[in-house]
Amino acid sequence: QSVLTQPPSMSAAPGRLVTISCSGTNSNIGINSVSWYRHLPGTAPKLLAFDNNKRPSGVPDRFSASKSGTSATLGIAGIQSGDEADYYCGTWDSRLSQWVFGGGTKLTVL
């Protein structure tokens, strides 16, 4: 059972918008910044967003992230077949003194 809650799977047709949610508590998302990652097994995970809503250089602007209270969201616009991967939110949990990830959302492009 992960500390952060994400939907296990989502699917979307090419060109559509997908929003992936990440729910936490006042000891993690509520007081610390959230990062988002993409991982395709066999490759290195990739940072998609940090500090709740900032995009690293090189990440297309069709990826957007936000945070409100104890929840965070990653949006992917204009879905492409290459977006099929597992997506994770993560943040520091100040009560546990541990980094925590969501359980991951497997995105399927129809």
By CB under 8 A, tell whether 15 contacts another protein: no
Give residues 49-68 in contact with another protein (rule: CB under 8 A). Answer: 50-51, 56
Closest CA to 16 of 64, 62, 47: 62
Regarding 22 and contact with another protein (CB under 8 A), the answer is no
Residue of 35, 64, 65, 72 that binds another protein (CB under 8 A):
35
Provide CB contacts within 8 A for 3, sequence distance 6+: 24, 25, 28, 93, 96, 100
Check if the beta carbon of residue 84 is closer than 8 Å to that of residue 70: no
CA separation for the pair 103, 90 (Å, rounded): 10
Q: Is 82 in the site for another protein (CB under 8 A)?
A: no
- By CB under 8 A, how many residues form the interface with another protein? 29
Binds another protein (CB under 8 A): choice among 12, 46, 71, 84: 46
